């Protein structure tokens, strides 16, 4: 018994010693190792900022969704529980209704050797919560953010879209990606055997930061009207495509659209490359470009609005022969009459009173040959060849909008400059940014340049009113408002097609909105005054109503068009 007692005491002593080592010496290390084994770290996603219109209507936003994945190595050993039968077949039967999948198809995805395989992405929160509550060992529920565009195709070519990882690929989503994108954080927590968080357990991490939200100058109602109008115009005229720009004289773009836009929710295969042709595709402006010639001639004192010209239908300068759009007898036109009747010959006669360098300088000042700097990607600079590369015909062709190419946005900007008292303001789409803490910061003031004097701008405006009141642009009239604008028809030599356009602004006595309408290859008529001017009238009338613009006062006192 004594020996047995000694042995027992020895054994107890060993256990006690081991207990001291485990509890006192190795205890903190073992506890840390055990806790580390229970820790799980997940990424916490910072939400992508919203894109809204000028009034706060959401054009692009992010919603919470969940990705469901599986560790295929664990599913065959799943013993069942909480109403879920054991094994892959039981898991498939339970999850299939929640995932909207065929049980047999889902069962095939549950079996294999992969430690991580997606079953379905973008699962709604209600379904994801039910899946998580089943506590199926090997089934993972991960929170993500899905980009949604509530208005579908509305402004789709402006907004662009993101990829599955939330990175902007086109449009403003791409151009503004850095500021829209949030910064991800992490969360480390203790979890139980079934992966659930242990209440009161260890939790630490780094908070995610949401991206900033951007407010645009776009008005969703004006954008809708602009898109709807040009889409109908394409159908009615048989045009191959059309573009429209609606902006304020100070450069704020209210709407910009193509006749065929995309739905960013499902952009499809046709979304490669630049989306917004109104800023990427170029065309010869034709007679809408004559406003630059008139402004330059008036600003330099080469002519007055009532200078007199005898205008034949055909005019020769050396070996170069220029034609008006139709044959006519010799006409006695003033400078205003030349613009109102859209005479190429009369415009050449006016241009002869200026040097080629002067004409080039004013075309450059009005923005030809340079990108506007608008925020969407893929903008073209247009084509304005250096003056020393002009041949004998280009010297005069540019006077009436040939031999030079512009985008619809550049063309609209020219008329906005006239409407803005001769001050050119860079067109822009971003009104300001809202930080995650709710602080709104307006965008910096767009760059501006005084291109012509306020007096010249006012004179050109009155001359442009004659185009609508007594010229080729009668269909652009807007009831109750004075309208200044110009028709345009130009050949596209590259495609042997026609570009018909009308660009103008209203009210002419207090300009509030500039609208440019461009139709490519219309079939019912090649003239901008026939196919583009009515669209201008419709969109301008709607926009003035939306903006609450007061009707014009007294009628304009127009310059004489003949002598």
Beta carbons within 8 Å of 487's beta carbon, 6+ residues apart: 287, 288, 342, 467, 471, 472, 473, 476, 501, 502, 527, 528, 529, 532, 533
Q: Which residues of 462-480 are buried (b: 16+ CB within 10 A; e: fewer)?
A: bbbbbbbbbbbbebbbbee
Of 287, 380, 413, 466, the catalytic one is 287
How far from 487 is each of 341, 342, 401, 403, CA to CA, in Å? Answer: 10, 8, 12, 18
Please report, to the nearest 10 degrees, the dihedral formed by the alpha carbons of residues 358, 360, 366, 368 taken in order: 180
Whole-angstrom Cα distance, residue 314 to residue 434? 59
Whole-angstrom Cα distance, residue 341 to residue 333? 9
How far from 173 is each of 213, 256, 308, 444, 478, CA to CA, in Å? Answer: 11, 16, 53, 20, 36
Please report, to the nearest 10 degrees, the dihedral formed by the alpha carbons of residues 70, 267, 56, 222 taken in order: -160
Encode 343-372 in three state secondary structure: CHHHHHHHHCCCCHHHHHHHHHHCCCCCCC
Are the C-beta atoms of 214 and 433 separated by less than 8 Å? yes
Whole-angstrom Cα distance, residue 362 to residue 451? 8
119: how many CB neighbours lie within 10 A of its CB? 19
Whole-angstrom Cα distance, residue 118 to residue 112? 13
Whole-angstrom Cα distance, residue 349 to residue 346? 5
Token pair belonging to 222: 């004006």
Residue tagged 């073209």 (tokens): 380
Q: Pick from 31, 64, 59, 33: which is nearest to 47 by CA?
A: 64
Token pair belonging to 2: 């004594």
Q: Is 287 a catalytic residue?
A: yes
Active site amino acids: 287
């Amino acid at each position: 018994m004594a020996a047995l007692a000694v042995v027992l005491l020895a054994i107890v002593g060993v256990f006690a010693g081991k207990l001291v080592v485990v509890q006192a010496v190795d205890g903190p290390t073992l506890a840390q190792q055990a806790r580390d084994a229970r820790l799980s770290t997940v990424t916490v996603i910072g939400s992508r900022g919203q894109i809204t219109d000028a009034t706060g209507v959401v054009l692009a936003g992010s919603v919470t969704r969940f990705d469901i994945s599986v560790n295929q190595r664990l599913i065959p050993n799943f013993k069942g529980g909480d109403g879920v039968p054991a094994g892959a077949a039981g898991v498939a039967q339970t999850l299939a209704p929640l995932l909207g999948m065929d049980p047999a198809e889902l069962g095939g995805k549950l079996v294999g050797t992969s430690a991580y395989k997606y079953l379905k992405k973008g699962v709604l929160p209600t379904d994801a919560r039910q899946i998580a509550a089943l506590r199926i060992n090997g089934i993972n529920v991960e929170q993500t953010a899905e980009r949604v565009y509530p208005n579908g195709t509305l402004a789709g070519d402006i907004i662009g879209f993101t990829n599955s990882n939330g990175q902007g690929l086109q449009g403003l989503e791409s151009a503004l990606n850095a500021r829209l994108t949030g910064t991800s954080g992490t969360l480390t927590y203790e979890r139980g055997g079934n992966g659930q968080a242990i209440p009161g357990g260890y939790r630490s991490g780094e908070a995610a930061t949401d991206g900033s939200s951007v407010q645009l100058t776009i008005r969703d109602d004006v954008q809708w009207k602009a898109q709807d109008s040009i889409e109908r115009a394409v159908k009615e005229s048989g045009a191959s495509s059309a573009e429209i720009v609606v902006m304020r004289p100070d450069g704020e773009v209210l709407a910009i659209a193509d006749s065929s836009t995309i739905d960013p929710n499902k952009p499809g295969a046709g979304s490669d490359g630049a989306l917004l042709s109104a800023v990427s595709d170029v065309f010869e402006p034709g007679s809408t470009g004559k406003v630059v010639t008139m402004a330059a001639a008036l600003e330099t004192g080469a002519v007055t609005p009532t200078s007199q010209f005898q205008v034949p239908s055909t005019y020769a300068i050396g070996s170069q022969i220029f034609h008006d759009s139709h044959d006519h007898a010799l006409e006695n036109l003033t400078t205003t009459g030349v613009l109102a009747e859209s005479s190429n010959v009369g415009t050449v006669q006016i241009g002869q009173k200026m040097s080629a360098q002067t004409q080039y300088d004013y075309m450059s000042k009005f923005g030809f040959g340079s990108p506007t700097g608008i925020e969407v990607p893929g903008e073209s600079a247009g084509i304005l060849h250096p003056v020393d590369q002009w041949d004998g015909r280009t010297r005069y062709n540019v006077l009436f909008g040939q031999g030079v190419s512009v985008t619809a946005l550049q063309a609209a900007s020219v008329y906005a400059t006239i409407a803005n008292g001769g001050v050119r303001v860079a067109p822009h789409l971003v009104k300001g940014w809202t930080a995650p803490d709710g602080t709104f910061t307006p965008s910096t003031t767009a760059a501006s340049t005084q291109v012509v004097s306020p007096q010249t701008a006012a004179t050109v405006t009155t001359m442009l009113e004659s185009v609508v009141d007594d010229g080729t642009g009668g269909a652009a009239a807007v009831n109750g408002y004075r309208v200044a604008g110009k028709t345009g028809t130009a050949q596209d030599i590259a495609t042997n097609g026609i570009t018909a356009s009308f660009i103008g602004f209203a009210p002419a006595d207090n300009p509030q909105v500039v609208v440019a309408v461009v139709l490519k290859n219309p079939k019912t008529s090649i003239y901008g005054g026939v196919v583009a001017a009515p669209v201008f009238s419709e969109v301008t009338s709607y926009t003035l109503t939306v903006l609450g613009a007061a009707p014009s006062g007294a009628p304009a006192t127009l310059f004489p068009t003949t002598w």
